[in-house]
Structure 1
């Protein structure tokens, strides 16, 4: 139909919002000549999905004599089996909002030629889980615009945005607690036994935020005759995916995020290290309000000995939040080190409503006609709700509660983009279908 551009652009350049915030943006179109359409529909959706496939071995059903394969009948009792692929899945929907941005379901209207801009907005519910993209499941928030054309295939534009559910470490008692874990073991064979190997893990607190460095202290006292090759400290992401179809089942994934390698420790020797492990852009712990994806973090420390001896290890939970502990002052990052989240000299911005905005943030592109349908079309802010316009842009647990806290930047997940095309999309769906959620990253340089 001569549609040169059909694009969704969020007013927030990082497409990142806290739950409870308004989401605003514009639908940009370039049309070469006036066109008849039924209308333009905007569809917001927030949902979680989990799926995986497994190959199961099952007995083949019995085949009556004379009707089976050539050469004789095949029965289940003969021991014949077959491999069957079983698809497991589960789904949760958190919110959905669909409205006409232009026109309606009946009749036709004329869309003028030129560069067009139609603003849209919606309010996010207050208790949404944070965006997440994983191998076996996701929590995803999208908006799709559909251009309804009579007697022709509909054109679609799609975009994803990030939602952050705040986790304030200052309100989490466990996050404030220091860690000290001591484990030991004896090496021996039959009648022989050596002295103990003792390892102690210490952390100042249990809760951290992306961009922060975890000061890991490990003390090893090796009173045995066995050398310790290395001590490995690994920050891990612990995932549990739950499905309900065709029956309830779970799948667990442990993913290494970062590690330190210390050592060695000689027999009858002692060593002590304090090393920093920086937390990359990651979603907060727990994924509250999602019942089919569970997310935790831990720190695993393993002292690796000779091949024929079992390793000594310990783990401790780590809580990742979106607001750092005010009572804990992290070690100073040396001046001149690139702040976390900074890419090619660009400093990623904060979501709308946090008080920080770049130049031109709300300035529409030049030479573009901004059109708004009469009334409240395209705006999900019902006039009957007296609180709709007065809802705070920053959630009650957001950074605004701590005026002395520098706002975070927002950086893409360390695991990179995922394809967001789903069963509801078609070959006419436009937009950037490779998407990586962004998470708050704090800069503790020279604090």
Structure 2
């Protein structure tokens, strides 16, 4: 995976490139992040040094409208944590180090690097209210001039092996009922029973649902649907809803007996080279990698300037096991409306 900094032809710097040995840029805690930085100069350049900054951290920010009496105001909430903060000198001096500034002659230079991630680390995540993000920033620190910087973002994906979690093989069941209205207009109940064959799944697996819905009321059911977090029966009319939540665990390594090995899809946004890190046994299927369904976000931070090159948009990559099918109901429809009863 390469991060190419396209600099103007006017000036001394022609190329400033960060390349990761891992083409997907996906790592687990305690992995070595390896790669190289390429610098190409058309003329000699005086500098304090060439450095890499490895950073990982979380930030959250949101606002809420508050009301006190007749007054309405906005309250802001912010917090941050740092998980990784390390500087590596590739050439010259470290930040704040004294002494003479070296000069790098014209030519092409390649600087290999390796840094072991600490652990444990939370997985990469991007949302409107917060983020967990990891990146490498290369800097050519020039005295009394604007620095050249280039940025590469990588994904940290922690492992969750369903085989090591108790209860993931157990079936999960739930049932409930609801009566519509009350007193003299009370009708018979709408009841629902449903179950899952187990409690642990990985992204890409189908979740088969067995459900029984009985409508003893005099109201028509508008529809029944299954969602990732609940199964609902919704009758016609306001404020009548039956919900039955079941807890499941979404892991990164599937149960050994649940998913047979098979070839993953060939879509351009899925990747397979990183598979072995999430499949410790040869009997395990190998995952592909897919970008987060939330899509890419702009990753420019407050410290980045117009001179910061490299990655500008990014989406975390997550392990995905393709079964070659999409989730469907028993009738083959993704959602069905129940007939009147």
SS in 1 for 2:284: coil
Given the alignment of the two structures, is residue 416 of structure 1 paired with residue 295 of structure 2, yes or no? yes
Shift of 1:185: 1.8
- How many Å separate the matches in 2 of 1:310 and 1:55? 29
Q: Is the 8 A contact 1:175 1:206 kept in 2?
A: yes
Q: Is the 8 A contact 2:161 2:254 kept in 1?
A: yes
Shift of 1:212: 1.0
- How many Å separate the matches in 1 of 2:259 and 2:141? 56
* 1:185–1:55 distance in 2 versus 1, CA, 3 Å: closer
* 1:429–1:58 distance in 2 versus 1, CA, 3 Å: farther
* 1:55–1:224 distance in 2 versus 1, CA, 3 Å: closer
Shift of 1:116: 2.9
Deviations 1:161-188 (A, max 9, x none): 0011110011111322211111112224
Q: Is the 8 A contact 2:270 2:290 kept in 1?
A: no
SS in 2 for 1:170: helix
SS in 1 for 2:167: helix
Shift of 1:58: 5.7
Shift of 1:114: 3.6
Given the alignment of the two structures, is residue 444 of structure 1 paired with residue 323 of structure 2, yes or no? yes
Taking the TM superposition and a 5 Å limit, the aligned residue runs for 1:239-254 are none
Partner residue in 1 for 2:34? 24
Partner residue in 2 for 1:305? 235
Deviations 1:268-321 (A, max 9, x none): xxxxxxxxxxxxxxxxxxxxxxxxxxxxxxx21111111146121211122110
Unaligned residue ranges in structure 1 (runs of 5+): 60-78, 236-298, 356-393
Partner residue in 2 for 1:95? 84
| TM-score where L is the length of structure 1 | 0.65
Q: Is the 8 A contact 1:50 1:138 kept in 2?
A: yes
Given the alignment of the two structures, is residue 172 of structure 1 paired with residue 165 of structure 2, yes or no? yes
Unaligned residue ranges in structure 2 (runs of 5+): 1-10, 326-341
| TM-score where L is the length of structure 2 | 0.84
Residue of 109, 113, 117 corresponding to 2:106: 113
Taking the TM superposition and a 5 Å limit, the aligned residue runs for 1:289-304 are 299-304=229-234
Q: Is the 8 A contact 1:183 1:199 kept in 2?
A: yes
Between the two proteins, the alignment pairs up a number of residues equal to 311
Q: Is the 8 A contact 1:37 1:110 kept in 2?
A: yes
Partner residue in 2 for 1:349? 272
Q: Is the 8 A contact 1:350 1:407 kept in 2?
A: no
* 1:310–1:147 distance in 2 versus 1, CA, 3 Å: same
Shift of 1:2: 2.6
* 1:57–1:223 distance in 2 versus 1, CA, 3 Å: closer
Residue of 323, 326, 348 corresponding to 2:256: 326
- How many Å separate the matches in 2 of 1:120 and 1:310? 60
- How many Å separate the matches in 2 of 1:189 and 1:88? 43
Higher relative contact order structure (alpha carbons within 8 Å, sequence separation ≥ 6): 1
SS in 1 for 2:186: strand
- How many Å separate the matches in 1 of 2:253 and 2:298? 29
Partner residue in 2 for 1:150? 143
Taking the TM superposition and a 5 Å limit, the aligned residue runs for 1:34-45 are 34-45=44-55
- How many Å separate the matches in 2 of 1:87 and 1:197? 44
Q: Is the 8 A contact 2:272 2:286 kept in 1?
A: no
Q: Is the 8 A contact 2:54 2:85 kept in 1?
A: yes
SS in 2 for 1:427: coil
Shift of 1:408: 1.1
Partner residue in 1 for 2:122? 129
